[in-house]
Amino acid sequence: MRRVLGILLTATLAFSACSPASEAPSDTTPSTTTSVAPAPATPHVGVQLFQWNWKSVARECTDVLGPGKFSFVLLSPAQEHIEGEQWWTSYQPVSYRIESKLGTRTEFHQMVKDCHEVGVKVIADAVINHMAGIDGGTGVAGSAFTHYDYPGLYTEADFHQCATPSGDIENYLDQQEIQECELSNLADLRTGEPAVQQRISAYLDDLLSLGVDGFRIDAAKHLPARDVQAIVDSLDGDPLIVSEVIRGSGEPIQPEDYLDAGSVFAFQFAKDIAGIVPGGAVHRALEIRDGEVPSEQAYTFVTNHDTERNRQTLSYKDPEKYHLANILLLAVPYGTPVLYSGYAFTDRDAGAPQSDGVVTDTECAQPTPTDKPEPGTWLCLHRSYAGLVEWAAVVGDAEPENLWQEGYAVAFDRGDLGLIAINGNSTKAIEPELTTNLPDGTYCDALVPEDCTFEVKDGKVKVTVEPMTAVALHA
């Protein structure tokens, strides 16, 4: 079983002014010097910094993630891709050179070292199911290609040829079609072939040589689980593996199929949280599980780059609900939480702010969670949960105790180390007196650290919780 990473955090909406990123990459020489991130001493929580360039990720590790004791950062794809400003161009590889609109190979390597220096692990987004979905052209680093020919890498024989009229997946109840037909015209690799597996493994090993600690396997549902396992088993070391396998009712492919290769993203958790919060039944968050996926192999989240665009989950466009959902994500003991920070958009295809074909540097301000950003502004939502990260670090894996539930509110201890009270009411504050395992004393609210007015005496504490937020206390 593969390693599981993580560490907890807290969220705001944060926007940015941008300055240009550095020029296009040129160095393609594999690195022989790697850095190793210190093992985190606190519970697992990470953040996905979607479409952040490498220099911005490095700075965020140094200034925020390391000091905030985040365990890991999840990147956007690093390989060369098709040209274009849309975000999804990053998910259409044309070569496995580490050169993209997010930065150069040298910048990528330096980013990994900078993150490791402050104890933050780095998870790369591995697009290995397919190549590009266009007839041909030139990639952002100058590599020429056609739809089924990538010189020095793949030829037409390395791709599936699907029998459906469109060549695309048309029936998600047919496992062979899901895994051998094309996803929106993306050239589908024969990942069961040893030669293809060797080229994919060489690419992932190259990223490992640059110091990455693991991989998100993009579109893993479209690769047979045995192929994922074979590729993972061939890699150097013991990298973390988290597969993207979206659970579909009645479908023949489920997340549990991929647990032998590592962990999976808990899409059902995100959908269930999105269903709970609008109705206010926040106590039900303690009951959420993603099928038969055990906690130690479930990477939980409220939104990601896909779901915020298809509106299957809550997002920054639902400010108060999104804030409450992120609190629930960090409060419950199931899974490894992954927060998300990207950028504002109205056009679902719109890419991150760019200049001359490269993504500009991320600069984050600190607005309130109810601010509504202009399209194209950076969102740094992970920054406002720093106190809750500390709370989670203290409570660790302690199970909920002293459950209190009334109407649209819930409160519970996590062992004798922390207490959290969550108010799902949209208009009404609550003022319960709670039973707690916390020792007698004066406590500060992890979400509002300057509020140190909470007195525990004889196992009781009275809290006031405003609508759609929480109070979190810890020893």
Q: Which residues on neighbouring strands pair with residue 341, listed in sequence order?
A: 49
d(CA 222, CA 303): 21
Q: Helix, strand or coil for residue 252?
A: coil
Angle between helices 386-395 and 319-331 (to 10 degrees): 20
Query: Out of 213, 218, 272, 318, which one is annotated catalytic?
Result: 218
Q: Element (H or E) spanning 274, and its range?
A: helix 267-276
Contact between 411 and 420 under an 8 Å Cβ cutoff? The reply is: yes
Would residue 244 show up in a list of annotated catalytic residues for this protein?
yes
Of 101, 125, 108, nearest to 34 by C-alpha is 108
List Cβ neighbours of 429 (8 Å cut-off, separation of 6 or more).
423, 464, 465, 466, 467
Contact between 26 and 394 under an 8 Å Cβ cutoff? The reply is: no
Tell me, what DSSP letter sits at residue 70?
-
Query: Out of 80, 114, 244, 445, which one is annotated catalytic?
Result: 244
Of 110, 77, 100, 78, nearest to 26 by C-alpha is 100
d(CA 343, CA 386): 20
Greatest Cα-to-Cα distance within the chain, rounded to the nearest angstrom:
73
d(CA 283, CA 424): 9
Cα dist. 214→51, 138, 197, 206, 420 in Å? Answer: 18, 29, 17, 12, 32
Contact between 404 and 411 under an 8 Å Cβ cutoff? The reply is: yes
Q: How many CB atoms lie within 10 A of CB 279?
A: 10
Catalytic residues: 218, 244
